[in-house]
Amino acid sequence: MHALSLPTWWIHVTSVLEWALAMLLVQRWGQRHGERIWSWLALAMLPALVSAMCACTWHLFDNPDGLRGLVVLQAGTTLLGNIALAAVAFVIWRQSRSPRHDAPPAQDLPST
């Protein structure tokens, strides 16, 4: 546990907790608004959470060579998470441009 200073640990742990909370809030927001794509976004955030937990675990044990596989797992889950987040973000963007998400046309005001 000596690999990181206490303030750095604080940042690592709170970032992991914040990311997990963000996943929960995104998923609940999607449920409340009836838009399932937001649940997919929360799921796409999972590999980044796993990546962060790999990094914290590796540092917790003072970066031993025996746990070097965690670094590889972290890299893989980071790549997977970035691809998943980009894909879901693209779908959200595309859906936001569809006619069902556009504002309804303004009603013409009667002539005076």
pLDDT digits (tens, 9 = 90+) for 25-59: 999 999 999 999 999 999 999 999 999 999 999 99
Question: Residue 33 is which amino acid?
Answer: H
- State how far the Cα of 19 lies from the Cα of 8, in Å rounded to an integer: 16
The percent of residues above 90 in pLDDT, for the chain, comes to 77
pTM confidence score: 0.81
8 A C-beta contact, residue 97 and residue 37:
no
